[in-house]
Structure 1
Amino acid sequence: MTRTSVGRFTSEEARTKFLAAYDRAMDLWPGPRRELDFETGYGTVHVHHYGAPTGEPIVLLHGHAGHASNWYPQISALGEHHPVYAVDTLDDPGRSVQRAVATGPAENAAWLGEVLAALGPERVHLVGASYGGWLALNQAVHAPEGLASVTALDPGGIDKVPARFYAHLIGGLFGMLAPRRLRPALGRLLANPALGSPPEMLAPLMLGMRTYRPNTRPPVQPFTDRELSSIRLPALVLLGRRSALVRAHRARERVAGLIPGVRAEIVPQAGHGLNLERPDVVNGHLLRFIASCG
């Protein structure tokens, strides 16, 4: 499969309805926060900013079909001593507007590199979850300049996507149709924390699935051994013990054997969305790791 067009909403009415739900979801963040737009060669990238006025910035990249509100359990903790920027990635429903197709790893590193350069600081700590984790590691491989460290939470690209991941997605879709009172229990059963998340966060996810048509996105291909071995930044990889995307022990062995000096940890009692399931554990890992990079 190749990418042939940019993503779009099915109608302007659908886009308006989605953005209203998106704005309500962003109220889960603490305040005050700023919203910024940066022009890149691939479109306008929307960024939310919160946190301390000084300190090395932390830049957050959400997973596929997600958006910046998905980081709400991290914002207060990370923003206490760091400026925090959460990016609406191109190719996903949100306030970013894609105008050109990013066809592969180099192109994705290019648009993200333009955003990081526009933020201004010399060094940032880049953190991504799922597809955002792939983007973060991809940046460390192809355009590491300006990065102080890289963190990937249950990232794509470490192994081939297993069939159970697609079953997990389908189970999550059916779970969202269940009565609201049953969703938290289903979320624990399926290791799908989104089902137990606040309804404000779920609403734009569900609207995006129904009314946003992404471009033809090829499956994320695993990084080669050579690519992972080329990473020379401080790196942290956190994996969910119950993840549907990665085989946690196998993934830990691979990154530990290839990325020099990487900290690779398995988070118990967590699935693919570990930053939502175990926020205190994830926040602790992130803050200790970032402090060690100073």
Structure 2
Amino acid sequence: MSDTATRARADIGRYVNDALRDRYFAACDAVHALGAPARAEYDVETSFGTTHVYRYGPEEGTAAAGRAAGRTPVVLVHGAGGCAAMWYPNTPALAAERTVYALETPGDANRSVHRAPLHQPERAAQWLDESLAALGLDRVHLIGTSYGGWLTLNMAHRRPGRLASATLLDPGGLEKVGLRFFVWIFLSLFATAAPAALRPRLAAWLEQPVLVVPELRAMVRAGVRAHRIRRPAPKPLTDDELRTIRTPLHLVLGRRSLLLHPKRQAERVPRLVPGTRAVILERTGHGPQIDHADEVNARMIDYLDGVDDPAREGEGVPGRA
């Protein structure tokens, strides 16, 4: 497909122009700099476009790097409209003794190249499976947030063969996306233009950590100007579809989430997928891995260690629920 035809398709994400794209990439790089340093970057080809990937891990030649080589790697899948930089609060802890790959979903505002639609569930699972195969990853711990949570959950349902576990951070895919979530998104974007003195109060009211991290705020604002997403919201998995899942699940929800109803899903998912670990975090909404990074990191690491070695489960997480 020619570049002109790709740009003309209504279901292919696109940048408004090269200047805005480059300005956005610079903002992404500033956010990346807040987290762990990437050890490498890759571009891998799939049926749906080129997937850009960042690899993190301990410094080569260290004892931690030796331990990481023998452990199941982690793969991160970001939320809608964003890029891998959003994982900056999590990469230092996750990559301390594991290899971590952060994928950028084609169709979102990032360095991947979108050539064919992948929002349909089977195609989304195929894209993710092809990306993992191209990286040579046969077994991974998959972690997704928001739309990336739907991609992760969908993968556990449709193509679970490579998955050691799936961690879902306030994920899509469990309920139909309602009006209240879109209103929150609109208000959050509007609040990014508020005077600096008001942003902390707006951040607390909206449960929106983006407003109080200058680099993150700049990245979000630049992304909204530069990129146009072209896909519908995903349909939630049915009860019958959830019952098919055998991959170990870790469900982390924000008490004040507006994407879903936390209590409802904390009861529903473990009932349909036995063995699911579900927790609701207080004082947070849709971004628990950002505004409660230390706690979420500790919980994720504990869960990954417990899957890999059940004897270690529960270590280092006081009061784990």
Superposed pair shares fold, TM > 0.5 = yes
SS at match of 2:90: helix
SS at match of 1:73: coil
Task: Give the Cα separation in 1 of the matches to 2:39 and 2:187.
Answer: 35
Name the residue aligned to 1:22.
28
Task: Give the Cα separation in 1 of the matches to 2:161 and 2:277.
Answer: 21
CA contact (8 A) 1:4 1:101 kept: no
C-alpha displacement of 1:30: 2.2
CA contact (8 A) 1:46 1:87 kept: yes
Residue 105, structure 1, aligned to residue 96, structure 2: no
Counterparts in 2 of 1:287 and 1:165: CA distance versus 1, 3 Å: same
Counterparts in 2 of 1:77 and 1:147: CA distance versus 1, 3 Å: same
Name the residue aligned to 1:292.
306
1:178-217 mapped onto 2 (5 Å cutoff):
178-197=194-213, 199-215=214-230, 217=231
Give the letter for the 1:201 counterpart.
Answer: L
Give the letter for the 1:151 counterpart.
Answer: T
Task: Give the Cα separation in 2 of the matches to 1:32 and 1:209.
Answer: 25
CA contact (8 A) 1:229 1:258 kept: yes
Task: Give the Cα separation in 1 of the matches to 2:25 and 2:171.
Answer: 27
SS at match of 2:285: coil
C-alpha displacement of 1:126: 0.1
Task: Give the Cα separation in 2 of the matches to 1:263 and 1:63.
Answer: 21
Task: Give the Cα separation in 1 of the matches to 2:201 and 2:307.
Answer: 39
Task: Give the Cα separation in 2 of the matches to 1:262 and 1:287.
Answer: 16
> Which one of 263, 273, 283 corresponds to residue 269 of structure 1?
283
SS at match of 2:89: helix
Task: Give the Cα separation in 2 of the matches to 1:289 and 1:277.
Answer: 20
Counterparts in 2 of 1:66 and 1:44: CA distance versus 1, 3 Å: same
C-alpha displacement of 1:150: 0.3
Name the residue aligned to 1:8.
14
Name the residue aligned to 1:258.
272
In the superposition, the TM-score normalised over structure 2's length comes to 0.87
CA contact (8 A) 1:231 1:260 kept: no
C-alpha displacement of 1:25: 2.0
CA contact (8 A) 1:256 1:264 kept: yes
Gaps of 5+ in 1: none
Name the residue aligned to 2:235.
221
Indicate the larger mover: 161-170 or 26-35: 26-35
* Largest Rg, 1 or 2: 2
SS at match of 2:108: coil
> Which one of 199, 218, 235 corresponds to residue 249 of structure 2?
235
C-alpha displacement of 1:6: 0.9
C-alpha displacement of 1:35: 1.0
Name the residue aligned to 2:93.
77
C-alpha displacement of 1:32: 4.8
Name the residue aligned to 1:177.
193
CA contact (8 A) 2:156 2:247 kept: yes
Counterparts in 2 of 1:32 and 1:114: CA distance versus 1, 3 Å: closer
Task: Give CA deviations for 1:242-282 in whole Å, capped at 9, x if unaligned.
Answer: 11111110111111211121111101111101101111111
C-alpha displacement of 1:180: 2.3
In the superposition, the TM-score normalised over structure 1's length comes to 0.95
Please provide the CA RMSD for this pair. 1.3
SS at match of 2:144: strand
Task: Give CA deviations for 1:227-251 in whole Å, capped at 9, x if unaligned.
Answer: 1111101110110001111111011
SS at match of 1:236: strand
Name the residue aligned to 2:136.
120
The aligned length equals: 290
C-alpha displacement of 1:283: 0.7
Residue 155, structure 1, aligned to residue 161, structure 2: no
Task: Give the Cα separation in 2 of the matches to 1:31 and 1:243.
Answer: 30
Gaps of 5+ in 2: 1-8, 59-64, 309-321
Task: Give the Cα separation in 1 of the matches to 2:38 and 2:74.
Answer: 17
SS at match of 1:77: helix
SS at match of 1:6: coil
> Larger RCO: Structure 1 or Structure 2 (Cα < 8 Å, ≥ 6 residues apart)?
1
